Amino acid sequence: MAVEICVKAATGAPEVLGDCPFCQKVLLTLEEKKIPYEKKLIDFSAKPQWFLEISPEGKVPAINFGDGKWIVDSDVITQLIEEKFPEPSLVTPPECASVGSKLFSSFINFLKSNDSSDESEKTLVEELRALDGHIKDNGPYVNRASISALDLNLAPKLYHLQIVLEHFKNWTIPENLTHLRAYVELLFDQESFKRTKAERDYVIAGWAPKVEAWRSS
């Protein structure tokens, strides 16, 4: 029996893959491991009862490795995939484990900010600059020549950051972060990434309600 995985469907298009970066992280892991899987798209506007029975909090991704047991939490899932399917290895060396760890939270804080003086932009740029420096010294991937779980974790986050900040804040990654920009291009050019990404319009549609709520608060 193939691996089954529940992932978010696109906002307004329940037959199309949606914009969850944590779902994409797991899909990327399955793709890089060449593990066959069956994708089940979950419409967040009308979550089916069978899905709520396997994921009572309604969270995705949820995965079943063929034993009928569903597991929810992208970090747990990717760790289990590595244990069950160790080749090719995607293990991130311990010394690289914290690279980019504050990137997503810094992105969210800047996106939510309505105050240009609160330093949320500065904090995000510092995180991006740190990642740029790591890639400069250790690239082209986080762990030199080998793609690892950390790259597959960062790729969807950088994808959302790039699309969402450009659309909602007219903001782009600083041009002088050349190593980071090359890293982003490398990640987005992976065949596994192309097969698992949500289209730009669906990323924007997925974030729009959150952004509108933050702006009106």
Q: What is the pTM of this model?
A: 0.96
Strands 3-10 and 37-42: parallel
Report residue 157 CA to chain centroid gap. 4
User: Which residue, 101, 193, 95, is CA-closest to 138?
Assistant: 95
Predicted local confidence at residue 87, as pLDDT: 97
In the chain, CATH 1.20.1050.10 covers 94-216
* pLDDT tens per residue, range 178-199: 999 999 999 999 999 999 999 9
Helix (H, G, I), strand (E, B) or coil at 101: coil
Q: Is a pLDDT exceeding 70 seen at residue 95?
A: yes
Architecture of domain 3-84: 3-Layer(aba) Sandwich (3.40)
Predicted local confidence at residue 120, as pLDDT: 97
Predicted local confidence at residue 116, as pLDDT: 83
Q: Where are the alpha helices (DSSP H) in 2-42?
A: 21-33
User: Which residue, 152, 173, 154, 59, is CA-closest to 110?
Assistant: 173
Q: Quick one: DSSP state of residue 110?
A: H
| Residues that are catalytic | 20
Predicted local confidence at residue 105, as pLDDT: 98
CA atoms within 13 A of residue 15's CA, in its CB half-sphere: 0
* pLDDT tens per residue, range 67-89: 999 999 999 999 999 999 999 99
Average pLDDT for the chain: 96
In the chain, CATH 3.40.30.10 covers 3-84
Domain 94-216 bears CATH identifier 1.20.1050.10: yes
25-50: average pLDDT: 97
33-43: average pLDDT: 97
Predicted local confidence at residue 2, as pLDDT: 82
In the structure, what pLDDT confidence band is assigned to residue 49 with cuts at 50, 70 and 90?
very high
* pLDDT tens per residue, range 102-157: 999 999 999 999 888 899 999 999 999 999 999 999 999 999 999 999 999 999 99
In the structure, what pLDDT confidence band is assigned to residue 1 with cuts at 50, 70 and 90?
low
Q: Is a pLDDT exceeding 80 seen at residue 217?
A: no
